[in-house]
Amino acid sequence: MDSQFTPRINGARLWQSLMDLGALGATPKGGVCRIALTEDDRKGRDLVASWCREAGLDVRVDEIGNVFARRAGTDPTAPAVATGSHIDTQPSGGKFDGNFGVLAGLEVMRTLNDLGIATRAPLEVAIWTNEEGTRFTPVMMGSGVFAGVFDAEFARRQQDRDGVSVGDALAAIGYRGTQRAGEVPGGMYSAYFEAHIEQGPVLEAAGLPIGVVSGALGQQWYDVTVTGQDAHAGPTPLALRHDALLASARMIEAVNRIARDEAPHGRGTVGFLEVTPNSRNVIPGRVDFSVDVRHLSQDGLDRMDAAMRGAFAGIADAAAVDVEIRQVVKFEPCLFAPACVDSVRRAAVGLDLPHMDVVSGAGHDAVYVAQRAPTGMIFVPCKDGISHNELEDALPEHIEAGANVLLRAMLEHAR
């Protein structure tokens, strides 16, 4: 890019767009509840699609409801440079998770229109369906179908708790498109960038506005059942107990220790615990709990898996209980394309924005898109690292900085 020419996005316009979209499904505490494929989701899609059309973009919808808005390039044969994210939220979500990435992409298009800038390659904004997985599973459904991880028909058959299928919900809101999922006019993207709030505290703690995301942690989730013997809390001596909860507590501590041994990229969390019979004067005879382990490499995940299984077996033997471990989810670690990561870093340097390299601890649509196209991500801080929460917040200057990095990175690839 010409070092003498540095286009900048309209930060006030981007912020207002975020606030306007956040009004759809607004909650009393200032958050957003806009669940995938509901009436509020339709309203959000309609609003953003109308803004895209006003910006002169060509809007199309694929068979799983992903929405794509394209700005033509001067070379119709060139593969597009894309960006995007999602606009569905958690039940008690915020205004920025996902929404920032979509509207930052739209703001890139608006800015280029304002400045009369033509690009050789087309530019495209994607709104991915059902990233959050709140109403329908699997999570990151739209980008997963796009990447070929899930079959479109399989995804459309999935049902919510009321028995409504994805396919029927798409039809009900008018977003069951005809384009085959994964087909891109002109061929697969030459690059894809996703701007996002960090959803963690690292950037804020460092006092930096930009995170250059090198990859995303792989994830493995487990359901664990520990079986002992429920018995009366009074007459049963400690040495003769088969206490499933005591053993589980030691296992939970082991999860934390195993993750600490894999610093800085190891993560270990137990977020669900169910005790049976759950009575104050009965020794627990059964405990069910979840384990979530994450790492930036598959070797790291394998080490954590082996360490967990070994530790749990030893604890179970010492406590005279049985343990069953069932792996229920697996996301491979993702390293983003060096060319895209370097473009994000150069953009931050060129804009004199302080930055640091980070990894994503959460899953994002970019992780699936990376299986089809060179991909990079841009993080900006969120207040107190809070996300998936009505208190989710970000500073306007950080939102503007992230969108300017996105603009510069996309222009580098679109020429």
- Cite the annotated binding site for Zn(2+) by residue number: 86, 97, 132, 196, 388
| DSSP assignment letter at 129 | S
Spacing of C-alpha 339 from chain mean position: 22
| Cα–Cα dist 116/137, whole Å | 42
| Cα–Cα dist 48/318, whole Å | 58
Cis before residue 91, ω within 30 degrees of 0? no
Helix ranges (DSSP H) in 197-297: 202-206, 244-260
Beta bridge partners of 123: 71, 81
Residue list, annotated binding site = 86, 97, 132, 196, 388
Is residue 379 a contact partner of residue 318, using CB atoms and an 8 Å limit? Answer: no
| DSSP assignment letter at 69 | E
| Cα–Cα dist 96/31, whole Å | 9
| Cα–Cα dist 131/363, whole Å | 9
| Cα–Cα dist 201/224, whole Å | 29
| Cα–Cα dist 280/287, whole Å | 15
| Cα–Cα dist 400/14, whole Å | 8
